[in-house]
């Protein structure tokens, strides 16, 4: 599970939500007053026309268990979209049905959970943002949090880097087949190793130095855009690899309404049994597939 920590360019004590959450943990009688400050701080970040209005909930939870430790936690939730639900009531021996609007408990628009539990980086924080209209608003402007320096986040960020590199560089320059082969080999590398060493990763996935340089250049751009630094060596989180693997699509979609689905667990199959070419007579590209039997 990915977690975050409070962030500030000068001093972490100047982070507003860090300060407010500390006050709430230390003095529960100040809950109402501090909650007002939290809501006002959120309002002050809502300076974009794209940001939606909604209801804000500030909640104190007791008995939250994480890593075998039970602590209190503060939840901050912003509800931007309400859903319809049926409410029944009995009157004069008959049931009437009303359609009302409420909060969907299974999908919160924006929310965070701040644990009264810390490590060397500070309080442990979890966050969710299911709306993409302003990616800076919730995480950076309101909470001002960053990814924790742990295996879960390093693994997820590196796989995201590889996915973006495959889409923007490999697919554009070498085609969908090479893109899917690269993704399959990436996942295979993560499955077969306990530690990622960036230099070893490049040696195993790229045969030519120019491709290694392309990857290095893209990695630098990715780090700058995401405002993060990917370590040159880190432990692999198997659970994150399994989760990210499910998200990767290895279909080659053709404009002739034909799709070729490649097995991400067989990274060498597309190289051995799939050939891409060009037919001069039809003036069209083609794929040639080799196989022994149909299933």
Write out pLDDT tens, residues 161-213. Answer: 999 999 999 999 999 999 999 999 999 999 999 999 999 999 999 999 999 99
Whether the predicted pLDDT of 134 surpasses 80:
no
Whole-number pLDDT of residue 42: 94
Structure tokens at 120: 């060397």
**Domain presence at residue 160:** yes
Residues 177 and 253 in one domain: yes
Please tell me the pTM assigned to this model: 0.65
Q: Which two tokens stand for residue 77?
A: 């939730």
Q: Does the structure show a pLDDT above 80 at 214? A: yes
* Residue 281 shares a structural domain with residue 241: yes
Contacts 24+ apart (CB under 8 A), 23-31: 24/60, 24/74, 25/72, 25/74, 25/116, 28/60, 31/58, 31/60
In a domain, 144, yes or no: yes
pLDDT of residue 295 exceeding 80, the answer is no
**How far, in Å, CA of 68 to CA of 75, rounded?**
20
Residue 140: CB atoms within 10 Å: 15
Q: Exposure of 207 by Cβ count < 10 A (0-12 exposed, 13-18 middle, 19+ buried)?
A: exposed
| 59 and 138 housed in the same domain | yes
Same domain flag for 161 and 230:
yes
Burial of 10 (0-12, 13-18, 19+ CB in 10 A): exposed
Q: Which residues contact 201 (CB under 8 A, 6 or more apart)?
A: 189
pLDDT at 62: 93
Tens digit of pLDDT for each residue in 215-228?
999 999 999 888 78
Domain region containing 211: 152-289
Specify if 99 maps to a domain.
no
Provide the domain count of the chain: 2
Calculate mean pLDDT across residues 28-50: 91
Strands (DSSP E) contained in 136-280 are 145-147, 195-197, 233-235, 251-253, 259-261, 274-279
Answer whether residue 1 shows pLDDT above 70: no
pLDDT of residue 285: 93
* pLDDT score, position 282: 92
Mean pLDDT of the chain: 90
- Residue 102: inside a domain: no
Task: Among 148, 169, 201, identify where a domain stops.
Answer: 148
Select from 100, 133, 148 the last residue of a domain: 148
Chain segment 262-277, per-residue pLDDT in tens: 888 887 888 889 999 9
- The per-residue pLDDT for 271 is 84
Does any domain span residue 238?
Answer: yes
- Tell me, yes or no, whether 96 lies in a domain: no
pLDDT band at 147 (very low <50, low <70, confident <90, very high): confident
Sheet arrangement for strand 4-6: 55-66, 69-79, 110-119, 122-129, 4-6, 145-147
CB 11 within 8 A of CB 35: no
Q: Give pLDDT, residue 217.
A: 96
**Separation CA 39–CA 140 (nearest Å):** 16
In a domain, 91, yes or no: no
For range 63-92, the mean pLDDT = 89
**Strand 195-197 relative to strand 233-235, pairing:** antiparallel
Tell me, yes or no, whether 12 and 138 share the same domain.
yes
β-pair partners for 45: none
Does 139 share its domain with 162? no
Kindly state whether residues 134 and 55 are assigned to the same domain.
yes
């Amino acid at each position: 599970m990915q977690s975050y920590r409070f962030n500030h360019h000068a001093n972490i004590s100047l982070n507003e939500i860090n300060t407010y959450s500390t006050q709430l943990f230390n003095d529960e009688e100040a809950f109402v007053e501090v909650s007002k400050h939290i809501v006002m701080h959120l309002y002050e970040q809502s300076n974009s026309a794209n940001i939606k209005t909604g209801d804000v909930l500030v909640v104190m939870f007791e008995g939250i268990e994480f890593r075998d430790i039970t602590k209190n936690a503060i939840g901050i939730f912003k509800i931007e979209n309400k859903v319809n639900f049926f409410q029944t009531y009995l009157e004069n021996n008959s049931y009437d049905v009303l359609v009302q609007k409420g909060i969907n408990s299974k999908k919160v628009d924006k929310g965070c959970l701040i644990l009264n539990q810390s490590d060397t980086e500070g309080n442990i924080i979890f966050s969710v943002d299911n709306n993409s209209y302003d990616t800076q608003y919730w995480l950076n402007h309101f909470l001002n949090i960053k990814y924790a320096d742990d295996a879960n986040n390093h693994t997820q960020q590196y796989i995201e880097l590889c996915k973006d590199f495959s889409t923007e560089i490999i697919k554009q320059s070498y085609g969908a087949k090479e893109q899917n082969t690269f993704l399959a080999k990436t996942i295979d590398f993560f499955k077969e190793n306990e530690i990622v060493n960036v230099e070893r990763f490049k040696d195993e996935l790229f045969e030519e130095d120019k491709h290694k340089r392309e990857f290095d250049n893209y990695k630098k751009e990715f780090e700058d855009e995401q405002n993060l630094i990917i370590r040159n060596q880190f432990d692999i989180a198997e659970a994150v690899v399994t989760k990210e693997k499910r998200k990767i699509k290895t279909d080659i979609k053709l404009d002739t309404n034909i799709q070729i689905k490649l097995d991400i667990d067989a990274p060498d199959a597309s190289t051995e049994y799939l050939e891409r070419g060009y037919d001069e007579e039809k003036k069209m590209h083609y794929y040639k597939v080799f196989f022994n039997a149909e299933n």
